[in-house]
Amino acid sequence: MKRMKMMFSLVLSLMLCLTVQAGVQSASSKSFFSRSLQPNESLASASQGRLARLTAYWPGEDHYTNHRLSATGTPLRDGCCAVDSSIIPYGSVVKIPGVGSYIAVDTGTAVIARKAARESGHNSQERSALVIDLYFVSRKAGELFSREGPKFAMIAWQTRG
């Protein structure tokens, strides 16, 4: 029974990732803009804005990214991100103004510990920000975002019902 629930969760996460990916322009393109979710898309709940430190990761950083697998088992691709799932549930759509919409399918100890925010924040609000790690299909695209993209942003997320 537990294995069936896990398989259902993985299939649902994959479907959500593919659905969002179909409508999201890659953040690794020359501009960091992508379309927002359409108003008629059904969403169960939405959070208010919250400050987040934006970081990037790509294939080759560890065993899982080498195999392009997320913590939920969903294949990683542009449009996916890592979150603290105790705050932002897996499958949520994370909206980052000026950057795009990402599906929460992954996590990591540095994301949960908010390491990047604690180390790079200039004030207490930035040091206590969430960390959202955006997945890029190439190191080059991830490094470009790390250099030129925003370091902090007010984000919101929506869960599907």
Per-residue pLDDT tens digits for 112-141: 999 999 999 999 999 999 999 999 999 999
pLDDT over threshold 90, residue 104: yes
pLDDT over threshold 50, residue 31: no
Side-chain-side CA neighbours of 50 within 13 Å: the count stands at 16
Backbone angles phi, psi at 44, to 5 degrees: -75, -45
Residue 64 vs residue 145, higher pLDDT: 145
Nearest CA to 61 out of 6, 96, 106 is that of 106
Q: Based on the number of CB atoms within 10 Å of its own CB, is 5 exposed (0-12), middle (13-18) or buried (19 or more)?
A: exposed
| Strand, coil or helix: 57 | strand
